[in-house]
Amino acid sequence: MELEKELEFFKSQYKELISHYENQFVLIAGDKLLGSFTTDSEAYEAGLEQLGNQPFLIKRVVKGEDIDRAPALVLGLLNASI
Amino acid sequence: MPVYEGEFRTQAGQPVPGGLLRNGPVLPVEIAVPSALSRFLSARNQQIPGPVAGFALIDTGATRSCVDNQVISSLNVNPIGITTLGTARGRSQHHLYPAKFSFPAMRFEIEFGSVVGVDLSGQGVGKMQIIALIGRDVLSRCILIYHGIKGSFSLAL
């Protein structure tokens, strides 16, 4: 899966990142931290300028794991018959 | 505040019994490349892919809005993250993408820092495919009225 390497780097550097960049958005490509930003849109524009239209990781540095939920979608209930 | 009044009617203007029950609260949407990517491509004289039209389903169960994987890929938008979707069946990983949703009926646009890429193939209303889910990230700024008895809904953004 694309960006797995970047996510692994984020996890490996998490303690360092949370101590310096809590609540900021970090821009990561490969195993390099390219910058930290106040908003995700700033990080995206910086990523485009530095790397072009390529996959790169933008992740907010927060305490705890982010889990999104979309139960109807994943359970296949969007068009369930009742 | 733009308002969308959703109701299923025939071409003759008659209410479709059970339309909202079968299809859910859906509204026309266009998915486009994010504005930052448009500016980036334009500055380099590169072609900007045109928006893709379809329906968005309002999904109060989804924490975050979602876009169909095939649609976002067709726009040459690259992923900017990975998220974990948690359900009763366990967890699965999905890419995150920046995206712009336009609602032509409301003349309203939302620029998303990220939406979740998911497989919405085969989900449709008539001949139009559902290409996006509107999650609680958007609904947190809206008023949604679901009138099940009448078979209509209103969304104020």
The residues near B7 (Cβ < 8 Å, ≥ 6 apart) are B15, B19, B20, B150, B151, B152, B153
Minimal CA separation from B64 to chain A, in Å: 7
| Conformational region of residue B13, where left means phi above 0, alpha means psi within -120 to 50, and beta covers everything else | left
Tell me the DSSP string of B103-141: ETTTTEEEEEEEEEEE--TT-EETTEEEEEEE-HHHHTT
Please tell me whether the interface predicted TM-score (ipTM) of this complex is above 0.95: no
Residue A56 belongs to a domain? yes
Q: Which amino acid is at B115?
A: V
**Nearest 10 degrees: Cα torsion B86, B87, B90, B95:** -40
What pLDDT does residue A58 have? 97
In the DSSP assignment, the letter for residue B9 is B
What pLDDT does residue A70 have? 74
Higher pLDDT, B45 or B86: B45
Domain count, chain A: 1
Residue B15 CA, distance from chain mean position: 24
Please answer yes or no on whether A71 and B80 come within 8 Å at the CB atom: no
Residue-wise pLDDT tens digits, B85-136: 876 667 788 999 999 999 999 899 999 999 999 999 888 887 789 999 999 9
- Please name the residue of chain A whose CA is at the shortest distance from the CA of residue B25: A78
Partners of residue A16 on adjacent β-strands = none
**What is the overall mean pLDDT for chain B?**
92
What pLDDT does residue A75 have? 57
Residue A79 belongs to a domain? no
Residue B70 belongs to a domain? yes
What is the pLDDT tens value at each position of chain A, 82 positions in all?
Answer: 999 999 999 999 999 999 999 999 999 999 999 999 999 999 999 999 999 999 999 999 999 876 677 776 665 556 554 4
Residue B6 belongs to a domain? no
Calpha distance A48→B155 (Å, rounded):
34
> What phi and psi values does residue B139 have, to the nearest 5 degrees?
-65, -20
Residue A69 belongs to a domain? yes
Kindly list the distances between the CA atom of residue B121 and the CA atoms of A29, A76, B93, B132, in Å, as whole numbers in the listed order: 30, 11, 18, 11
Partners of residue B80 on adjacent β-strands = none
Domain count, chain B: 1
Residue B22 belongs to a domain? no
* Domain extent at residue B40: 29-137
Residue A11 belongs to a domain? yes
Q: How many CB pairs under 8 A join A and B?
A: 115
Please answer yes or no on whether B63 and A70 come within 8 Å at the CB atom: yes
Residue position matching structure tokens 């996959």: A55
| Whole-structure pTM value | 0.91
Kindly list the distances between the CA atom of residue B59 and the CA atoms of A12, B27, B153, in Å, as whole numbers in the listed order: 35, 12, 13
On chain B, the residues whose CB falls within 8 A of the CB of A70 are 59, 61-64, 66, 85, 87, 116, 118, 133, 135
What pLDDT does residue B9 have? 84
Please answer yes or no on whether B81 and A59 come within 8 Å at the CB atom: yes
Residue A12 belongs to a domain? yes
N-to-C CA span, chain A: 36
> What phi and psi values does residue A5 have, to the nearest 5 degrees?
-60, -45
Minimal CA separation from A18 to chain B, in Å: 18
Calpha distance B131→B30 (Å, rounded):
9
- What number of other Cβ atoms are within 10 A of residue B57's Cβ? 25
Residue B83 belongs to a domain? yes
Considering CB atoms only, which of B59, B82, B85 is closest to A7? B82
Q: Among residues 125-144 of chain B, which lie with CB inside 8 Å of chain A?
A: 130, 133, 135
Q: Which amino acid is at B45?
A: N
* Domain extent at residue A30: 4-74
